[in-house]
Each structure stands twice: as structure tokens, then as C-alpha cells.
Amino acid sequence: MKSISGAGAAITAIESDGNNTKTPRNSNIAPLIYNLLTELGEDPERQGLERTPVRVARAWEDLTAGYHLDINDVVNDAIFEDDCGEIVAVKKIHFFSVCEHHLLPFFGVCSVAYVPDGRIIGLSKIPRIVDMFARRLQVQERLTSQVAQAVNEVLQPAGVAVTMEAHHLCMMMRGVEKQDSRTVTSEMLGVFKTNPQTRQEFLTLMGWSPLAG
């Protein structure tokens, strides 16, 4: 078996290849993937795999890019004074994340709503907030809560509601292998938690039901 240090020359050659000019920021990841392929019984220097360590390193940097962002980077002063006092919602935000238990993807749709209390946020910032937290190692329960808490923090609205519905490859590909199962989570803050009518209005607007096909 070739060690991580033994993989160095191959990785250097891959990184300097004219077809791979964008090298990963973290130079330690590609050698680890090289060794993983070896441990799995593969030849990481065969044609189909010779560039895979660097490709995987780049992919993981994209999948975990949220670690390098904070809420101020994402919102970027896109908060405005406004008298609106009704529900503002963005629905069916597609997201992709990675389960921290098995390092397998989970993906689905997210809906986010808030009731303003004198301030609104640029609508494009809401999907960006979802992406910031999704692009980290996650569990869906925490991801849902983090999105809600972030919107609550930056806007201090009368209420925030977040729902997520996702497929988890760790359940679909291994373990129980239930391909049609979906995980549903929600987080309600402020009036969405205390006022059943407001909560139901949000769920109706989203067309959201955990029993829907």
C-alpha cells in the first residue's frame, strides 16, 4: 500500500496538469482520498481515477464552503426599513447537504417565512442563508433550527417559520434502504409558535403537508 507521503508525487502531477488548473485550497485532502482509494482495493493511478483525488478535494471544499461564511457575509447590509406586517415567505428552496453521521448527501426543499417588525430582508438572501448552513456537515434537525435562528437574529421579526423535507442517501443506499422515505422538520419562532392561526396560514401558503405525496 502506498502511504500518504508516497502519494505526493502523483498528487503533484495531477495538480499541475493543464486540465486541472484550479487546485484545492487544502493540499491535505487529495492525498487522503488517494489512500482511501487504495484501502478500498482500487488503483488510484489508473486512467479513470488518476484525477479523482483532486476532484474530490475540490468537491468537498464546495460542499463545506459554509464553514468559511458567517451571517454578515451573506446578508451584506441587505436589510431595509419597511412597514410590512404580513407574512413574507420564500418556498421550495432546493438545498443539498452532507449528513455528519455517514458523510452521505441529503437533499430536498426548504420554505422560510417571517412576519416583519419594521424591517425586511432582500429576498435572495434567504436562499443564501439556507445554503450557508447546508454547506456544512449537518443533521437536518439542526440545519432547520440554524436557518430559523439566523433569520430571527438579523431581522428580529415578529416570527420566523422554517420547514424542510429531504431525502437522505444514508437511509436510501444503506441501512434500512427505504428509497421513498422523507424526513420532515420544522422550526417555529415568535407568532408562528404562539399563534395557531398564523402558523396555519404559513403552512397553507406553502402548500406544505407531511402527508402529501
| Catalytic choice (68, 84, 94, 101) | 101
| Catalytic choice (110, 146, 165, 168) | 168
Buried/exposed 24-50: b ≥16 CB within 10 Å, e otherwise = beeeebbbbbbbebbeeeeebeeeeeb
| Catalytic choice (68, 94, 100, 200) | 100
Nearest to 143 by CA among 203, 183, 202: 183
| Catalytic choice (99, 110, 146, 201) | 99
Task: For residue 84, indicate whether it is catalytic.
Answer: no
Strand partners, 161: 113, 188
Q: d(Cα 34, Cα 43) in Å, to the nearest integer?
A: 9
| Catalytic choice (42, 45, 50, 102) | 102
What DSSP string runs through 46-110?
Answer: STTTTTHHHHHHHHHHHHTGGGG--HHHHHTT-EEE----S-EEEEEEEEEEEETTTS-EEEEEE
Task: For residue 94, indicate whether it is catalytic.
Answer: no
Task: For residue 110, indicate whether it is catalytic.
Answer: no
| Catalytic choice (15, 140, 146, 165) | 140
Task: For residue 140, indicate whether it is catalytic.
Answer: yes
Task: For residue 99, indicate whether it is catalytic.
Answer: yes
Q: d(Cα 58, Cα 25) in Å, to the nearest integer?
A: 8
Q: d(Cα 121, Cα 50) in Å, to the nearest integer?
A: 46
Active site residues: 99-102, 140, 168, 170
